């Protein structure tokens, strides 16, 4: 899987020899991190300093019918007080979009990383890894094809893969596959959409879990940049384990979105869900919501986002089943001068699963400075605290991060195209 992914990416790079616009850059970076809780434990904390040295490559190319964004970094981490934890890190992001015809479009998105960090780079993964720092790698890949059969009306279908492999023999590997198809129709002032998806979750040692989902939505365009919609959905989950729970989830929500300017956007939805389980589980219900607000001023950018409801959850690859959750986060950044900026963020997450209730608080602050045209640096601090019904899940960690980057080459053409 890793070989085929890298091969396809670099074949695509080589094939885009001529583009209407392009940008390439090579950089070296050096990071140092101090943590007072290396293994995220609630007792017997271990502190350490981790230094990371590496190189990165970034590319962006666009034509009339396609666009490509690629970033890749290779680095080596060194632990000052912990022998045997040093590791190579890889981080790849690749997005490719192409118009196959006037009405047919294709999109391919990939994320790959290998690291030993306890908190994963992907913001879609909530859980941290505790007790050890062993390497693992994750691949997220998705394909999406859309066909415009009528003005602003589309047929879409696609699939996605999430693959997790751990080098620790004590942790399960996992895979999940999702396929979907959707149909939308635009009636100038009104719009409707239906969608069906199927997901298969497979674990290394425990039985698989399957989920089917169907949803229908419709809405009204109040103005060209303002709309309101109503959605209904039904989920069916089946756990192949003899002790696993099968259940239905019924949900509905109302969504309002508004883009008053190019710099500002508002999105809010509110709804309700009901879970009906078999005799192996219990019924549940709750509020669903999503929030996305951003505002840009001359020197300051502020955003707040959140979501809540239910999701299927696993810790690393351990199946923990149906989970109620609520998440809220806020970010603010300000440009102090032409070369200096500051930023800060806060997030809170509440979860309720098979192990009980768990609360996670995260705060961070950073200052970044462009030292020269090619050299930049930053220093940041973060605080993370987890409180839970299950005491073994609790911990507190403080981290200070110092980073320097040197962009030694950038160009609009690759060397062999000059």
Question: Tell me, what's the pLDDT at 344?
Answer: 98
SS3 85: coil
Residue percentage of the chain with pLDDT more than 70? 91
Q: Is 83 helix (H, G, I), strand (E, B) or coil?
A: coil
In this predicted model, what pLDDT tens digit does every residue of 199-246 receive, in sequence order? 998 888 788 889 999 999 999 999 989 999 999 999 999 988 888 888
Give the CATH number for residue 216.
Answer: 2.40.170
Share in percent of the chain as helix, strand, coil (round to 5): 5, 70, 25
Cα Rg, the chain, nearest whole Å = 23
CB of 201 within 8 A of CB of 174?
yes
pTM of the model: 0.88
Q: How many residues does the chain have?
A: 418
The whole-number pLDDT of residue 314 equals 52
Other beta carbons within 10 Å of 360? 19
pLDDT tens-digit readout, 241-289: 888 888 999 999 999 999 888 778 899 999 999 999 877 677 899 999 9
How far apart CA 234 and CA 126 sit, in angstroms, is 24
Domain count, the chain: 1
Question: How confident is the model at residue 19, as a pLDDT?
Answer: 52
Span 107-129, pLDDT tens digits: 999 999 999 998 877 666 667 77
Structural domain for 71, as ranges: 2-417
Place of tokens 């053409």: 413
Residue 239 · residue 203 · CB < 8 Å? no
Which letter does DSSP use for residue 416 in this model? G
- What is the pLDDT, as a whole number, of residue 367? 98
Q: pLDDT, tens digit, for every residue of 279-329? A: 767 789 999 999 999 999 889 999 999 999 988 765 444 566 788 999 999
Contact between 342 and 334 under an 8 Å Cβ cutoff? The reply is yes
Task: Report the pLDDT value the prediction gives residue 264, as an integer from 0 to 100.
Answer: 82
What per-residue confidence (pLDDT) applies to 2? 44
Per-residue buried b or exposed e for 116-125, using 16+ beta carbons within 10 Å of the residue's own CB: bbbbbeeeeb
- Decide if pLDDT at 383 tops 60: yes
Local confidence band at 195 (pLDDT 50, 70, 90 cut-offs): very high
Bridge partners of residue 344, in order along the sequence? 332, 365
DSSP states along 91-135: EEEEEEEEESSSSEEEEEEEEEEEE--SB-S-TT---B--S----
Q: Is 283 buried (19+), middle (13-18) or exposed (0-12) by CB count in 10 A?
A: exposed
Report the alpha-carbon distance of residue 301 to residue 260 in Å, rounded: 16
């Amino acid at each position: 899987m890793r070989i085929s992914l890298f091969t396809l990416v670099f074949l695509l790079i080589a094939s885009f020899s001529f583009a209407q616009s392009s940008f390439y850059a090579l950089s070296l970076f050096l990071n140092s991190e101090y943590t007072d809780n290396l293994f995220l434990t609630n007792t017997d904390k271990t502190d350490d300093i981790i230094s990371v040295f590496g190189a990165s490559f970034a590319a962006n190319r666009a034509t009339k019918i396609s666009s490509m964004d690629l970033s890749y970094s290779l680095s080596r981490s060194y632990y000052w007080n912990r022998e045997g934890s040093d590791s190579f890190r890889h981080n790849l992001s690749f997005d490719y979009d192409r118009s196959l015809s006037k009405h047919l479009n294709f999109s391919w998105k990939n994320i790959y990383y290998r690291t030993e960090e306890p908190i994963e780079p992907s913001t879609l993964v909530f859980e941290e890894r505790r007790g050890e720092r062993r390497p693992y790698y994750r691949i997220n890949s998705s394909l999406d094809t859309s066909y415009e059969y009528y003005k602003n009306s589309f047929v879409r279908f696609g699939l996605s893969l999430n693959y997790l492999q751990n080098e620790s023999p004590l942790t399960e590997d996992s895979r999940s596959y999702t396929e979907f198809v959707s149909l939308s129709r635009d009636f100038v002032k009104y719009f409707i959409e239906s969608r069906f998806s199927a997901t298969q979750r497979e674990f290394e040692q425990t039985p698989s879990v399957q989920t089917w989902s169907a949803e229908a939505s419709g809405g009204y365009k109040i103005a060209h940049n303002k709309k309101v919609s109503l959605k209904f959905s039904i989920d069916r989950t089946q756990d192949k384990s003899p002790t696993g729970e099968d259940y239905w989830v019924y949900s509905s929500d109302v969504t309002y979105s508004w883009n008053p300017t190019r710099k500002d956007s508002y999105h809010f939805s509110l709804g309700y869900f009901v879970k009906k389980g078999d005799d192996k589980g219990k019924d549940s219900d709750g509020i669903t919501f999503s929030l996305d607000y951003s505002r840009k001023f001359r020197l300051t950018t502020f955003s707040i986002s959140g979501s809540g409801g239910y999701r299927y959850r696993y810790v690393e690859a351990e199946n923990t089943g149906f989970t109620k959750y609520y998440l809220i986060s806020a970010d603010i950044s300000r440009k102090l001068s032409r070369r200096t900026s500051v930023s800060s963020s806060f997030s809170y997450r509440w979860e309720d699963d098979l192990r009980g209730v768990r609360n996670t608080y995260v705060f961070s602050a950073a200052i970044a400075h462009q030292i020269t045209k090619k050299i930049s640096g930053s220093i940041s601090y973060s605080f993370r605290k987890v409180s839970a019904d299950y005491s073994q899940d609790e911990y507190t960690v403080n981290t200070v991060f110092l980073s320097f980057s040197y962009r030694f080459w950038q160009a609009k053409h690759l060397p062999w195209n000059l």
